[in-house]
Structure 1
Amino acid sequence: MKHLSYISYTLLCWLILGCQSILEKDPLAQISAVNAYITADDAKRALTAAYTPLAGNNWCCTYVGTGYMHWVLANVASDDTEKGGESGSDQLYAQQISLFNIPSDNDAIRFAWSTEYIGIRRANLVLDNIPGITMDDALKNQYLAEAKFLRAWYYINLVKTFGDVPLILTANQNVYDLERAPKQAVYDQIIKDLQEAIPVLPEASKYPAADRGRATKGAASAYLGKVYLYLNDFVKAEEWFGKVINSGEYALDPNYLGMFLRAGENSKEHIFQVQFVNDQGAQPANNQLNIVMASRARNGWGFNLPTQDFVDAFEPGDPRMAQTVYKNGDVMPDGLVANVGNSTTGYLNKKMYVPEYERIAGAIQAGRDDIYMRMGKVLLWYAEAANENGKPAVALAALNQVRARARGGAAGILPDVTVTEKVALRERIWHEQRVEFGQEYERFFELVRQGRAGKVVRAYATKYNTAKGSGFRDGVNEIFPIPQLEINLSKGKLKQNNGY
Structure 2
Amino acid sequence: MKKLTFIALALLLTGLGGCDDLLDQEPQAQIATSNAYTTPDDASRAVTAAYHPLRAVNWCCQGAGNANGGGYNYWIHGNVATDDAIKGGESGSDQVYAQEIAYYTVSPGNLAVNDAWDILYIGVRNANLVLDRVPDIEMDGGLKDRYLAEAKFLRAYYYFLLVQTFGDVPLILTTDVEAYELERSPRSEVLNQVITDLQEAASVLPAKSEYSSEDTGRATSGAAQAYLGKVYMFMNDFTNAETAFNEVITSQEYSLDPDYSNIFTKAGENGPGTIFSIQYNYDPPNTNNNPMGVVQGSRAMYGWGFNAPTQDFVDEFESGDPRLDHTVYENGEVMRDGKTADVGNSPTGYLNQKEYVAEEEAPGGFFNSANDLILMRLGKVLLWYAEAANENDNRQAARDALNDVRERAREGDPDPTLLPDVTTNDKEELRQAIWHEQRVEYGQEYDRFFDLVRTGRIGEVMRSYADTYNTPKGANFTDGVHEVMPIPPSEISLSEGLIEQNDGY
Specify if TM > 0.5: yes
CA distance in 1, matches of 2:364, 2:191: 45
Larger radius of gyration: 1
CA distance in 2, matches of 1:394, 1:352: 32
CA distance in 2, matches of 1:157, 1:116: 8
CA distance in 1, matches of 2:284, 2:106: 40
- Aligned residues of 2:180 and 2:491 also touching (Cα < 8 A): yes
2:270 corresponds in structure 1 to 266
Note the 1:165-180 alignment, pairs <5 A.
165-180=169-184
1:141 aligns with 2:145: yes
Deviates more, 1:60-69 or 1:484-493: 60-69
**CA apart distance, 1:66:** 0.9
How far does the alpha carbon of each residue in 1:43-77 deviate from its partner, in whole angstroms, 9 at most, with x for none?
00000000000112111112412111111011000
**CA apart distance, 1:363:** 3.0
1:439 aligns with 2:444: yes
1:33 aligns with 2:33: yes
Gaps in structure 1 of 5+ consecutive residues:
1-29
CA distance in 2, matches of 1:362, 1:194: 38
**CA apart distance, 1:466:** 0.6
Residues 1:32 and 1:408: Cα distance change in structure 2 (over 3 Å): closer
How far does the alpha carbon of each residue in 1:359-382 deviate from its partner, in whole angstroms, 9 at most, with x for none?
213334411111000000000000
Residues 1:351 and 1:105: Cα distance change in structure 2 (over 3 Å): same
What RMSD, in angstroms, separates the aligned Cα atoms of the two structures?
1.1
1:54 corresponds in structure 2 to 54
1:11 corresponds in structure 2 to none
Residues 1:255 and 1:36: Cα distance change in structure 2 (over 3 Å): farther
**CA apart distance, 1:409:** 1.8
**CA apart distance, 1:31:** 4.6
2:337 corresponds in structure 1 to 334
Which residue, 280, 303, 307 being the options, matches 1:304?
307
1:220 aligns with 2:224: yes
CA distance in 2, matches of 1:34, 1:102: 40
Which residue, 252, 257, 262 being the options, matches 2:256?
252
Residues 1:200 and 1:466: Cα distance change in structure 2 (over 3 Å): same
1:406 corresponds in structure 2 to 409
SS of the equivalent of 1:398 reads: helix
**CA apart distance, 1:266:** 2.5
CA distance in 2, matches of 1:385, 1:322: 29
CA distance in 1, matches of 2:329, 2:36: 49
**CA apart distance, 1:34:** 4.5
1:451 corresponds in structure 2 to 456
CA distance in 2, matches of 1:364, 1:323: 22
CA distance in 2, matches of 1:34, 1:142: 25
For normalisation by structure 2, the TM-score amounts to 0.92
CA distance in 2, matches of 1:363, 1:399: 36
- Aligned residues of 1:83 and 1:94 also touching (Cα < 8 A): yes
Identity %: 58
Which residue, 371, 374, 381 being the options, matches 1:371?
374
1:354 aligns with 2:337: no
- Aligned residues of 2:291 and 2:367 also touching (Cα < 8 A): no
CA distance in 1, matches of 2:32, 2:426: 62
Counterpart AA for 1:430? W
SS of the equivalent of 1:496 reads: coil
CA distance in 2, matches of 1:44, 1:382: 35
Which residue, 437, 452, 463 being the options, matches 2:468?
463
SS of the equivalent of 1:387 reads: helix
CA distance in 1, matches of 2:477, 2:367: 35
Note the 1:159-198 alignment, pairs <5 A.
159-198=163-202
CA distance in 2, matches of 1:483, 1:88: 24
For normalisation by structure 1, the TM-score amounts to 0.93
Which residue, 120, 126, 133 being the options, matches 2:124?
120
**CA apart distance, 1:279:** 2.9
**CA apart distance, 1:408:** 1.2
Counterpart AA for 2:78? A
How far does the alpha carbon of each residue in 1:447-495 deviate from its partner, in whole angstroms, 9 at most, with x for none?
0000010000111111111111111001100111001111111110000
Counterpart AA for 2:449? F
Counterpart AA for 2:296? M
- Aligned residues of 1:256 and 1:406 also touching (Cα < 8 A): yes
Counterpart AA for 1:480? M
- Aligned residues of 1:354 and 1:364 also touching (Cα < 8 A): no
**CA apart distance, 1:280:** 2.5
How far does the alpha carbon of each residue in 1:4-28 deviate from its partner, in whole angstroms, 9 at most, with x for none?
xxxxxxxxxxxxxxxxxxxxxxxxx
Counterpart AA for 1:476? V
Residues 1:426 and 1:113: Cα distance change in structure 2 (over 3 Å): same
Counterpart AA for 1:431? H
CA distance in 1, matches of 2:167, 2:31: 36
1:430 aligns with 2:431: no
Counterpart AA for 1:164? D
Gaps in structure 2 of 5+ consecutive residues:
1-29
1:209 aligns with 2:213: yes
- Aligned residues of 1:320 and 1:406 also touching (Cα < 8 A): yes
CA distance in 1, matches of 2:483, 2:475: 14
2:385 corresponds in structure 1 to 382
Counterpart AA for 1:50? A
Counterpart AA for 1:318? D
SS of the equivalent of 2:275 reads: strand
